[in-house]
């Protein structure tokens, strides 16, 4: 499986890449377009795509804990079916 990780700032790529340095090589890093950037840069919010549909908030959180303190891990679900849409977000604390 290939996971795509998008950082909201270019400094997030550097900081996140250093903290997530032991990720498998198939992880892809790419900066989010400027119009999609978050104003709050206190935390680095990471987009995680290509998730298996059985992934829960808890499993996502537990996986990313190995890279540092997690503020939030959320798997996005369909509003009507409540089933995973195959992607989520992880916010790592850099405080």
Residue 45's pLDDT is what?
Answer: 85
Vertex 62: Cα angle to 56 and 66 (nearest 5):
145
Domains of the chain: 4-93 (3.30.70.330)
Predicted confidence (pLDDT) per residue in 24-80, tens digit: 444 444 555 555 554 454 557 889 999 999 999 999 999 999 888 898 999 999 999
Contact by Cβ (8 Å): 73, 90: yes
Q: Is the pLDDT of residue 20 over 70?
A: no
How many C-beta neighbours within 10 Å does residue 11 have? 13
| 92 confidence band (pLDDT: 50, 70, 90) | confident
Q: Is the pLDDT of residue 90 over 60?
A: yes
Q: Is the pLDDT of residue 4 over 70?
A: no
What's the token pair of residue 86? Answer: 């195959």
The dihedrals phi and psi of 67, each to the nearest 5 degrees, come to -100, 0
Residue 82: enclosing H or E segment and its boundaries?
none
């Amino acid at each position: 499986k290939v996971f795509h990780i998008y950082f909201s700032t270019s400094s997030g790529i550097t900081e996140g890449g250093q903290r997530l340095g032991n990720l498998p090589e198939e992880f892809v890093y790419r900066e989010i377009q400027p119009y999609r950037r978050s104003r709050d840069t206190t935390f680095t919010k990471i987009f995680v795509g290509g998730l298996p549909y059985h992934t829960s908030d808890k499993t996502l959180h537990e996986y990313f804990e190995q890279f540092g303190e997690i503020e939030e891990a959320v798997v996005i679900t369909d509003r009507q079916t409540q089933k995973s849409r195959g992607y989520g977000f992880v916010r790592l604390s850099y405080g």
